[in-house]
Amino acid sequence: MKTLKWNVDNNVDNLESNPQVVEAANLLKQNEVVAFPTETVYGLGANATSDEAIAKVYEAKGRPSDNPLIVHIADFSQLNELVLEIPNTAKKLIKKFWPGPLTIIFKVKSNAVSKKVTAGLDTVGIRMPDHRLALALINAANLPIAAPSANSSGKPSPTTAEHVKEDLNGRISGILDGGETGIGVESTVVDCTSEVPVILRPGGITKEAMEREIGNVEIDPALHENLESKPKAPGMKYTHYAPNAPVYLVDGQPEFIQQLVNKCHDEGLAVGVIATEETANMYDADVVRACGSREDLFTVANKLYDTLRSFNSKNVDIIYSEVFPTEGVGLAIMNRLEKAAGHKWIYGNESPKF
């Protein structure tokens, strides 16, 4: 399969009538799969009502079929067509955060979307992206678009069109290139079907921000457990975001991480370190990557996936990562890092088991 690539300036007028956007939208109408940018990461878009189209998404990504997909809409009328009801908590969150990086779980109308989108559940996750090109594409297609991240399943999510091409060239019909994404981690997923909303995946909209609008919001304990049942939201069950080399999260100061690096060097291993702007110059490792500033964790979120991907071209044997506080967007950062590491931690004077 030849993968088309269109470069589109997000700032031009009348994006919906842009010939390249129209061409991409027509492919979606034909149940083909097209990658496109959002304000979080690049999504792999397909007609959410078509079993044929959704099957192509799972095939392209190599994604387990019990992992549900998020549906992207561009108009509030589309929401009423898809869900049974809009709880009051959801209405308040929509008013404040849509368009934006917030996915809300609703009870889904019968046959409103492909059962492959919901993975057999009676709920569906929906969001309205805050990105002109994404909204233009959805409007031009006049369809609800199911769109997981546009990467091979388990690998770091793509924040540029080049990342998409690295993973999926020849496996999808097209890539709509709208430049680098902004936030860098996927949307927050919150389940509003229960009395107290529950965060199923932390992301760009923080728990604290939601609680200012609707009061108490819980965090699903399953975020910290190995799931045996069907996940209700993407990213809950399977290892994600992982570079080729094993990642270890290190709960320790830079001096302790350097000791681990030295031990690996003694054993002839090439070592990578994920650091911050404040600490990167403290390490003597084969590859050191600063993924942002501790003074502004949104910069870490923005560069996290690009940082993880960057190690794949450096042939390191092991990667040690600094850790971050779990307040605000730090919760999303640590959720992604724990997934990338397969929950492998080193504490105190422990040594890694290779």
- The answer to whether residues 174 and 34 touch, using CB atoms and an 8 Å cutoff, is yes
153 annotated as a binding-site residue: no
147 annotated as a binding-site residue: yes
d(CA 276, CA 287): 13
Taking alpha carbons only, the member of 157, 188, 183 closest to residue 61 is 157
> How many other CB atoms sit within 10 Å of the CB of residue 148?
24
Secondary structure (H, E, C), 64-133 = CCCCCCEEECCCHHHHHHHECCCCHHHHHHHHHHCCCCEEEEEEECCCCCCHHHHCCCCEEEEECCCCHH
Q: Which residues, at least 6 apart from 36, have a Cβ–Cβ distance to it below 8 Å?
A: 24, 42, 43, 45, 133, 134, 137, 147, 150, 175, 176, 178
> DSSP secondary-structure letter at 296?
B
188 annotated as a binding-site residue: no
160 annotated as a binding-site residue: no
- The answer to whether residues 39 and 100 touch, using CB atoms and an 8 Å cutoff, is yes
Look at strands 174-177 and 70-72 and give their pairing. unpaired
351 annotated as a binding-site residue: no
236 to 154, 298, 334, 338: CA distances (angstroms) = 12, 22, 13, 11
- The answer to whether residues 230 and 118 touch, using CB atoms and an 8 Å cutoff, is no
Look at strands 198-201 and 188-191 and give their pairing. antiparallel
Q: What is the dihedral of CA 262, 268, 269, 271, to 10 degrees?
A: 40
Q: At residue 129, what is the residue type?
A: P
310 annotated as a binding-site residue: no
85 burial level (CB within 10 Å; 0-12, 13-18, 19+): exposed
89 annotated as a binding-site residue: no
294 annotated as a binding-site residue: no
307 annotated as a binding-site residue: no
Residues of each annotated binding site: 40, 63, 67, 72, 123, 127, 147, 149, 157, 187, 201, 241
Residues of each annotated binding site for L-threonine: 40, 72, 127, 147, 187
Residues of each annotated binding site for ATP: 63, 67, 123, 149, 157, 201, 241
